[in-house]
Amino acid sequence: MSVEKPALAPGLAALLSSVVERRGEFVCIGSWTDEALYLNAHGRRMVDAEPHLDVGQTSLLNFVAPDDHAYFREVIAAEVDRRGRWSGDFRLRNLRTGLPIAVALEVFRLAVELGGRPCVAMVAHDISERVRSESRTRLLVDAGAALSNSLEYEQTFQELARLVVHGFASYCVIDVFSESGGRKNIRRVAVAHVDPARRPLVERLVDYVPDLERSTQPIASALLEGTSTLMHEVSDEWIDGITLDADHAGVLRELGLRSWMTVALVARGKILGSLTCGIAEETKYRAGFAHGYDAEDLFFVEELGRRAGTAIENARLYEYQRNIAVTLQAASLPSSLPHIDHLRLSAEYRPGSDEATIGGDWYDAFQLEDGRVVLTVGDVLGHGLHAAVTMTKLRQAMQSAAMVNADPVVMLEVADRTLALHDPHGFATAMAAVFDPLDHGLRYASAGHPPAIVRYEDGLVDELHVTGTLLGVRMGSPRKSGFISLPPRCMLVFLTDGLIEATRDIAEGNQRLREAISALDVADKRVARWVVDTVLAGVQATDDIAVLCARIAPQQAREEAPRQARYENLDSD
C-alpha cells in the first residue's frame, strides 16, 4: 500500500504563486521529514537549480551546505519545534557547484499541517555582499598589520599575497620597481594561490615579468602610468592580448581566471610597483565573488595598493638609513685593537637583526703614553643614524677626556656633558675602566651599564658592580669608582645589554652569559666572538651587541717606578 505524499491545497498554491513568487528572497516550504513542496523562482536562481528540478523529489536539507546538516537538524529544527521560529546567519548550497552561499536565514512553523506533520517555511536573504564587504575590511586590517610589522618588504609582500588569496582572490602577484645603474627593472617579489596544489603553476608566472614596452599589458599600464585595470569577466581573447607568448597565455588559462584586477603601488605620487589579483572559476563563489570583481572591489584594492606602496617607500628609506648607520658604526669602532704586552684583547660587534634598526653600541680600547690601558663600552638608547652619530661623539669624548685625566668618573662626566650639548633629550649607558699593568689594578665606573664580569683562572666568575646613573639623567647622584686588583690569567668581559636581552628573558640571558664565560677557552684569540655565539645559540638577537674581552697576561709586569699620584683624584670604595 503506497502512502500518498502531502501536497499543497489549490488555494494555498495560488496564494504562493501570487505573493511569494514576487519576493526577491529564497522561499521554500516543506516539512522536516518529507520532501520540499515549494520553492519560488528567486530561490531557484539563488541556489542555481536546474530548470527541470522537481522540488518534490528533494528535501529541505538538500538546499543546506553539507557541513551544516547536523546543525540544521540538531539546533535549528529543535528550536523551531520548541519555539516555532529560528533566525540567524547560515549557509545554503549552490546545487550546481556544491559551494556554500552566505544567507540570513529565517525558519518558522506554519499554521497548517501536511499529512499530520508540521509544515515549515525557510526564508533566506543573500548576504554575500555583506560577507564580501567584511572580507575586504578584514583583509585591510590584516594587511595593515603585515605591512607595519616588518621592514623586510619582500617577506612582507609574500605575507600580503597570502592574505589576499585567503579571502579575496584565487591568485595574487606583486611586482616592484628596482633601480640598477640608473635604470628601472621589474622584480616579481610575491606570488600566491589559494590552492596549495596550484602553487607550482602560479610560480611559473615569475618567468613572465611584464614588458614595459607593451603598454597594453595591465601590469605595464599600472607600472608606467598608474592605471588600474578591472576585468569583470576575463575572455580568451583578452588573455591573448595581454600575455607575452603562448606559454604565458597557457598558464593563465590553466589557472582558470574569470575576473581580474591590477592596481599600482603608489607612495607620495611615485609608482613603486603593482598588485594583481584574479578569481578562478572553481573559487569564484568564495567570499561572495560569484559574479566577479566590481568597482567597489577595485576601489578597495587601490587603497590596498596605496598602503603597500607606502610600506615599500618606508622599507627602502629604512634600508638606506640603516646602510648609512652600519657604515658609520663600522667606521667609528676601532679598526683593530692595540697590541699590549700585559693584556690580550678581543672584541666582537654584531648589528641588530633585519627587524631592528642599527643602534649606538660601542667598545673601545687604547693605551696611554704611561702604559695604562683605557677600556670603554657603551650603548646609546634609541636606534638608527641618530644613535650611531651620538655614539661616535660619546666615544670620542671619552677618548679625549682620558688623554687629559684617565679617571673613569671624569670620562663619564665628560660624556654626560657631551650628550647634553649634542642631544639634550638623549640617554646612554656606559662603562669606563683603566687598567694599570704595573700592579694589575683596575679602576672602573659605570653610568647605568651592565656590570663587567671577571673570570678567574679556575673558571669562577664575578661581577664588577658599581652604582652610577645613566648619561642624560641630569639630577643623578655623583658617580663613584670601584677598584680591583686582578690576578694573572683572569679575564675581563665588558658587554652591552643586547647580548643578555636576546632571549627576551634577562635572567636566562645572564645565566647563559655566566655559563659561557665560565666554560670559555681563554687561549682562544677570538674569545669575544665565542662568547657571543655561545650565548646566542638558537636565538636571533634583535638589538646591537658589543663585547670586549681583556685577558691579563701570565707574566708579571716589569718593575717600574711607582706612580702614587695616579689615583689621587679618584673616589675609593
> Which comes out higher in pLDDT, residue 324 or 357?
324
Question: Do 218 and 262 contact (CB within 8 A), yes or no?
Answer: yes
pLDDT-based confidence at residue 556 (cuts at 50, 70, 90): very low
pLDDT-based confidence at residue 14 (cuts at 50, 70, 90): low
Rounded Cα distance, 447 and 429, in Å: 5
Rounded Cα distance, 103 and 88, in Å: 9
> Which comes out higher in pLDDT, residue 522 or 36?
36
Question: Do 456 and 547 contact (CB within 8 A), yes or no?
Answer: no
> Which pLDDT score, from 0 to 100, does residue 182 have?
59
Q: Is residue 9 situated within a structural domain? A: no
Q: C-alpha cell of 539?
A: 636565538
Where are the alpha helices (H) located in 150-235, listed in sequence order? 153-167, 199-203, 218-225
Q: Is residue 120 situated within a structural domain? A: yes
**Mean pLDDT on 367-389:** 87
Q: What is the pLDDT of residues 427-482, one digit of tens each?
A: 999 999 999 988 899 999 999 999 999 999 888 999 998 988 999 986 666 789 99
Secondary structure of the chain: what % helix, strand, coil (to 5)? 40, 30, 35
Residue 569 pLDDT > 50: no
**Mean pLDDT on 120-142:** 78
- Domain final residue pick, 102, 126, 150: 126
Q: C-alpha cell of 44?
A: 531557484
> Which pLDDT score, from 0 to 100, does residue 284 have?
53
> Which pLDDT score, from 0 to 100, does residue 374 have?
96
Q: Is residue 339 situated within a structural domain? A: yes
Residue 564's SS3 state is: helix
> Which pLDDT score, from 0 to 100, does residue 560 have?
43
Residue 567 pLDDT > 50: no
CA 566 vs. chain centroid, Å, equals 54
How many domains does the chain fold into? Answer: 3
**Mean pLDDT on 136-159:** 71
Average pLDDT, the chain: 81
pLDDT-based confidence at residue 214 (cuts at 50, 70, 90): low
Rounded Cα distance, 461 and 369, in Å: 31
Tell whether 176 and 275 lie within a shared domain: yes
Residue 563 pLDDT > 50: no
pLDDT-based confidence at residue 185 (cuts at 50, 70, 90): confident
Nearest CA to 293 out of 383, 230, 229, 357 is that of: 230
> Which pLDDT score, from 0 to 100, does residue 150 have?
58
pLDDT-based confidence at residue 79 (cuts at 50, 70, 90): very high
**Mean pLDDT on 399-425:** 93
Residue 366 pLDDT > 50: yes
pLDDT-based confidence at residue 48 (cuts at 50, 70, 90): confident
Tell whether 511 and 534 lie within a shared domain: yes
**Mean pLDDT on 274-294:** 72
pLDDT-based confidence at residue 33 (cuts at 50, 70, 90): low
**Mean pLDDT on 246-265:** 88
CB atoms within 10 A of CB 182: 5
CA 90 vs. chain centroid, Å, equals 34
Tell whether 94 and 149 lie within a shared domain: no
Tell whether 172 and 275 lie within a shared domain: yes
Q: C-alpha cell of 14?
A: 495560488
Tell whether 105 and 138 lie within a shared domain: no
Q: What is the pLDDT of residues 107-120, one digit of tens each?
A: 999 887 766 677 89
Rounded Cα distance, 546 and 350, in Å: 7
Rounded Cα distance, 380 and 390, in Å: 7
Question: Do 97 and 47 contact (CB within 8 A), yes or no?
Answer: no
Residue 291 pLDDT > 70: no
Residue 562 pLDDT > 50: no
Q: Is residue 329 situated within a structural domain? A: no
Tell whether 342 and 480 lie within a shared domain: yes
Rounded Cα distance, 91 and 65, in Å: 6
Tell whether 163 and 39 lie within a shared domain: no
**Mean pLDDT on 138-162:** 72
CB atoms within 10 A of CB 6: 17
Q: Is residue 11 situated within a structural domain? A: no
Nearest CA to 59 out of 113, 9, 108, 120 is that of: 120
Q: C-alpha cell of 278?
A: 584574479
CATH number of the domain residue 511 falls in: 3.60.40.10
CATH number of the domain residue 114 falls in: 3.30.450.20
State pTM to two decimals.
0.50
Give phi and psi for 355, each to the nearest 5: -80, -15
Q: C-alpha cell of 50?
A: 536546474
Give phi and psi for 184, each to the nearest 5: -85, 135
Contacts of residue 224, defined as CB under 8 A and 6 or more positions apart, other chains included, come to 212, 215, 271
Residue 357 pLDDT > 60: no
> Which comes out higher in pLDDT, residue 92 or 359?
92
Q: Is residue 103 situated within a structural domain? A: yes
Residue 417 pLDDT > 50: yes
Q: Supply the range of the domain harboring residue 265.
A: 131-321
> Which pLDDT score, from 0 to 100, does residue 208 have?
78
Q: Is residue 8 situated within a structural domain? A: no
CB atoms within 10 A of CB 212: 16
CATH number of the domain residue 271 falls in: 3.30.450.40
Share of the chain above pLDDT 90, in %: 26
Tell whether 288 and 347 lie within a shared domain: no
Tell whether 271 and 190 lie within a shared domain: yes
> Which pLDDT score, from 0 to 100, does residue 254 have?
87
Minimum mean pLDDT among 174-183, 214-223, 321-330: which range? Answer: 321-330
Residue 564 pLDDT > 60: no
pLDDT-based confidence at residue 180 (cuts at 50, 70, 90): low
Q: What is the pLDDT of residues 192-212, one digit of tens each?
A: 888 888 888 888 877 777 767
* C-alpha distances out from residue 260 to 47, 138, 418, Å: 25, 20, 60
